[in-house]
Amino acid sequence: MTPDTMLAIIDSDVLRFHAYRDRALRGSIGTHQHQWQAASWYLLLCPAPTLHLTRAILWHDVAEAFIGDVPGPVKSACAELSTILAAMEAVVSEDLGLPVVDKERDLAWMKLCDRLADYHHVAMTAPWNLDFDDWQEARAEIGGLAESLGIGGKVEALLNEVDA
C-alpha cells in the first residue's frame, strides 16, 4: 500500500445520514466510525474471520471520500445512478489498491456487517426511527443475510436485544 493510499484512507471520513429525514441522525456518524463498527461486527460474528475480508470491511466506504455518500433511497430509486456509482467506487477502490471482494459469501458478510452497523447506530442514536418501514426492511434483510451465513439465531437474539 502506497503512502498516497494510506493518506486517502486516513483522510476519507465522510458524514453518513447527512440527508436523513430525522435531524437526530443527520451527520451523527462518519465513515471511519461506521467502517470500524462494521469490521467489529464481522470479527464478533464470523466463526472464521479472514484478514482480507476484515480489511475490505474496514475500508469499504473509503471511495465515498472521492465520489460522495449518495443516500440509499436515492440509489434504490434510480438503478442507473446506482450502477454508475458502483462503477465509480470500483475505479477509485482499484486506484487506491483497496481489497477486492468478489466471492458471494464474502459479499454477504460485508453487506450483513454494513447493515448491522447502521441498524445498531440508529437504535443507539434515534431508536424511534426503527419503526419506519425502511428500518423494518433493513432488519428483515439483516435476518436473511444472517440465516444465509448460518448465524441467524445469534443475530436474531442480538437484534431483539438492540430493539428492547
How sure is the predictor about 10, in pLDDT bands with cuts at 50, 70 and 90?
confident
| Nearest one of 139, 100, 103 to 122, comparing CA atoms | 139
Domain that holds residue 42: 3-163
Does 8 or 74 have the greater pLDDT score? 74
Interval 141-149 mean pLDDT: 98
pLDDT above 90: residue 116: yes
For the entire predicted model, the pTM comes to 0.91
pLDDT (0 to 100) of residue 24: 92
For residues 10 and 55, what is the distance between their CA atoms, to the nearest angstrom?
Answer: 14
pLDDT above 80: residue 124: yes
For residues 116 and 110, what is the distance between their CA atoms, to the nearest angstrom?
Answer: 10
Give the number of domains in the chain: 1
| Nearest one of 40, 118, 132, 14 to 72, comparing CA atoms | 118
Query: What kind and span of H or E run contains 37?
Result: helix 31-45
Distances (CA, A) of 105 to 109, 123, 147, 156, 159: 6, 26, 12, 19, 21
Domain of 23, CATH number, reads 1.10.3210.10
